[in-house]
Homo-oligomer: A and B are copies of this chain.
Amino acid sequence: MRDPLSELPGYRLRRASAAMLGDLARRLEPVALTPVEASVILLIGSNQGLTQSAIGRALGIQRANMAPLIARLEARGQLTRKPADGRSHTLSLTPAGHSVHDAVAQITAEHEAQLLNRIAPEDRPGFLRALDSLWR
């Protein structure tokens, strides 16, 4: 079969990303978090007290999508909202949130190690530079 797509960098990027996202999602099943939820937990863990919208901006998640996401994590008792100035909330991890955070950090480290392991060492720096150029 002629397959013009698999030669295309953009198509390969999509497939590679989907494959790695699937791997991460599987690894996160034990903690019952989606990749996006896990990224929020990780970022709050490194920045206690940021506002909801600051977290969203850093992760490229829109305000409208942050609201139910944060409500879900709060309902699970993994984070708390404290009013900051009347219109904004600062987010912090609860003790349960810290536990999940540590588990997520561990899972993420394993996932990332497996990912890098698939790439030839000499290709890794260029790979990271290329991704950075595409993203920002």
Give residues in A with beta carbon < 8 Å to B: 1-5, 8-21, 24, 35, 39, 42-43, 46-47, 50, 54, 58-60, 108, 111-112, 115-116, 118-120, 122-124, 126-135
Q: Report the minimal beta-carbon distance from A13 to chain B, rounded to whole angstroms.
A: 5
- Which residues on B sit within 8 Å (CB–CB) of A58? 1, 3
Chain B residue nearest to A13 in the complex (CB): B17
A81 to B123, CA, bound (A): 43
A16 touching B126 in the complex, CB below 8 Å, given contacts A10-B115, A46-B4, A115-B10 = no
A24 to B10, CA, bound (A): 9
A115 to B19, CA, bound (A): 20
B20, A108: Cβ atoms under 8 Å? no
A114 to B82, CA, bound (A): 44
Chain B residue nearest to A129 in the complex (CB): B123
A131, B54: Cβ atoms under 8 Å? no
A127 to B129, CA, bound (A): 9
